[in-house]
C-alpha cells in the first residue's frame, strides 16, 4: 500500500521533471497518469491496488454519515415518546478485527450508531462490551454491526 503510493508520487515527480513545470496542477496530472499506469500494472505489485482502498474508505465515510443521521433521529424519537420503552443492558460482541486502529474505528462507529455504546474492551482485544438501549434487539444489532461496519473496515484494511 505505502509502496504503491510512493511509486505513484515518484511517477508524478518524474512527470514534472519531464515537463519542466513546477506547479501543483502538473503534479495532479502526473499523479493521475501514475494511477493509470499502476492500474494497468497492478498484477505485478504486491498486495491490492491501493485506489480500491481509497474508494472503500470513501464508502465507509458515507456509511458513517448515514448512521450518524439515523442515530440522532432515533434518539429524538425516544426522547419525544411519552412513555419510555427501553430495556437497557450490556452484551458482549466478539470481533474478528486485529489491529488497534481497526478496533478503535469500529468502537467509535458503534458508539455513533442508534442505541449502542461501547463501554469496554477485553484485555486481549477480542471482545467488545456494548451497552444497548434495547437488549432484546441485541442479537440483531450484533448481526447488523458485523455485516456493515466490520465488513466495511475490512475492505479498507485487508
Partner 1 sequence: MKVNDLILQTVTTLLSFIIIIFSVYLFFAGHYTPGGGFIGGLMTSAALVLLLLAFDIKTIRKIFPFNFMTVAAAGLLISILTGVAAMFFDVPYLTHTFGYVELPILGETALASTLIFDLGVYLVVVGIAMTIIQTIGESE
The binding site for partner 1 (CB under 8 A) comprises 100-101, 103-104, 107-108, 118, 120-123, 125
State the Cα–Cα distance between residues 18 and 116, nearest whole angstrom: 55
Measured from the CB atom, the residue of 125 and 148 that comes closer to partner 1 is 125
Burial class from Cβ neighbours inside 10 Å (0-12, 13-18, 19+) for residue 125 reads middle
User: Please, what is the minimum distance in Å from the beta carbon of residue 121 to partner 1?
Assistant: 5
User: Please, what is the minimum distance in Å from the beta carbon of residue 153 to partner 1?
Assistant: 14
Measured from the CB atom, the residue of 61 and 101 that comes closer to partner 1 is 101
Measured from the CB atom, the residue of 45 and 57 that comes closer to partner 1 is 57
User: Please, what is the minimum distance in Å from the beta carbon of residue 80 to partner 1?
Assistant: 31
Which of helix, strand or coil describes residue 94?
Answer: strand
Q: Could you tell me the CA-to-CA distances from 27 to 17, 63, 109, 112, 136 in Å, in that order?
A: 10, 31, 35, 38, 55
Query: Strand pairing partners for 86?
Result: none
Measured from the CB atom, the residue of 29 and 121 that comes closer to partner 1 is 121
Amino acid at each position: 500500500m505505502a509502496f504503491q503510493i510512493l511509486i505513484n508520487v515518484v511517477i508524478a515527480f518524474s512527470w514534472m521533471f519531464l515537463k519542466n513545470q513546477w506547479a501543483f496542477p502538473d503534479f495532479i496530472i502526473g499523479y493521475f497518469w501514475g494511477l493509470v499506469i499502476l492500474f494497468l500494472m497492478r498484477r505485478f505489485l504486491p498486495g491490492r491496488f491501493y485506489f480500491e482502498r481509497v474508494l472503500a474508505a470513501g464508502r465507509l465515510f458515507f456509511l458513517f454519515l448515514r448512521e450518524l443521521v439515523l442515530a440522532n433521529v432515533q434518539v429524538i424519537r425516544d426522547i419525544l415518546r411519552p412513555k419510555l420503552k427501553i430495556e437497557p443492558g450490556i452484551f458482549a460482541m466478539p470481533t474478528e478485527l486485529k489491529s488497534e486502529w481497526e478496533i478503535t474505528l469500529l468502537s467509535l462507529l458503534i458508539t455513533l450508531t442508534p442505541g449502542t455504546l461501547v463501554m469496554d474492551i477485553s484485555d486481549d482485544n477480542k471482545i467488545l462490551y456494548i451497552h444497548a438501549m434495547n437488549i432484546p434487539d441485541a442479537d440483531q444489532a450484533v448481526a447488523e454491526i458485523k455485516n456493515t461496519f466490520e465488513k466495511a473496515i475490512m475492505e479498507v484494511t485487508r
